[in-house]
């Protein structure tokens, strides 16, 4: 009986450790992915500020494509999906403005894109807090 209980406890600990390591790896990958997104966003700002439209188009197109990648999907819920869609729309508007060399429209799209980043991070932090409680 004691042996059976010991095996069960060790098994449960092993499962818990495996899940914890998988979550830790996913968290690390998500942080790296978001760091890449931040660097691209900074390059887009550089492009807007210097009116380097090729830079804005290249980095903006890459940002938009990132939203379709699996690593982008931090949560599976409608709020997160709506935030991702808003971000992608603002990035696409930014690229469109860059193709027209419209500084005012590109600037506005960049500001909206940035606001959508902050809004999404508020949603994600709220989801993380809710999942802990």
Q: Which domains does the chain show, CATH number per domain?
A: 31-132 (1.20.120.10)
Residue stretches of the chain with pLDDT short of 70: 1-2, 4-27, 71-75, 127-133
What pLDDT sits at residue 51?
98
Q: Taking a C-beta distance cutoff of 8 angstroms, is the pair 95, 57 a contact?
A: yes
Distance CA 34, CA 129 (A): 19
Q: At what angle do helices 53-66 and 2-50 cross, to 10 degrees?
A: 160
Query: What integer pLDDT is reported at residue 21 of this predicted model?
Result: 46
**What pLDDT, in 10s, does the model give residues 72-97?**
666 677 888 888 899 999 999 999 99
Task: Give Cβ neighbours of residue 52 (< 8 Å, ≥ 6 apart).
Answer: 46
State how far Cα 120 lies from the chain centre: 8
The whole-number pLDDT of residue 132 equals 47
């Amino acid at each position: 009986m004691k042996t059976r209980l010991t095996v069960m406890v060790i098994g449960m600990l092993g499962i818990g450790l495996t899940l914890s390591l998988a979550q830790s790896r996913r968290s690390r990958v998500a942080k790296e992915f978001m760091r890449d997104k931040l660097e691209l966003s900074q390059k887009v700002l550089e492009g807007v500020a210097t009116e380097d439209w090729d830079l804005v188009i290249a980095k903006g197109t890459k940002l938009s494509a990132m939203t379709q990648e699996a690593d982008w999907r931090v949560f599976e819920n409608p709020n997160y999906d709506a935030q991702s869609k808003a971000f992608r729309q603002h990035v696409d508007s930014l690229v469109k403005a860059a193709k027209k060399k419209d500084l005012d429209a590109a600037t506005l799209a960049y500001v909206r894109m940035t606001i959508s980043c902050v809004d999404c991070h508020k949603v994600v932090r709220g989801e993380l807090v809710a999942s802990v409680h």
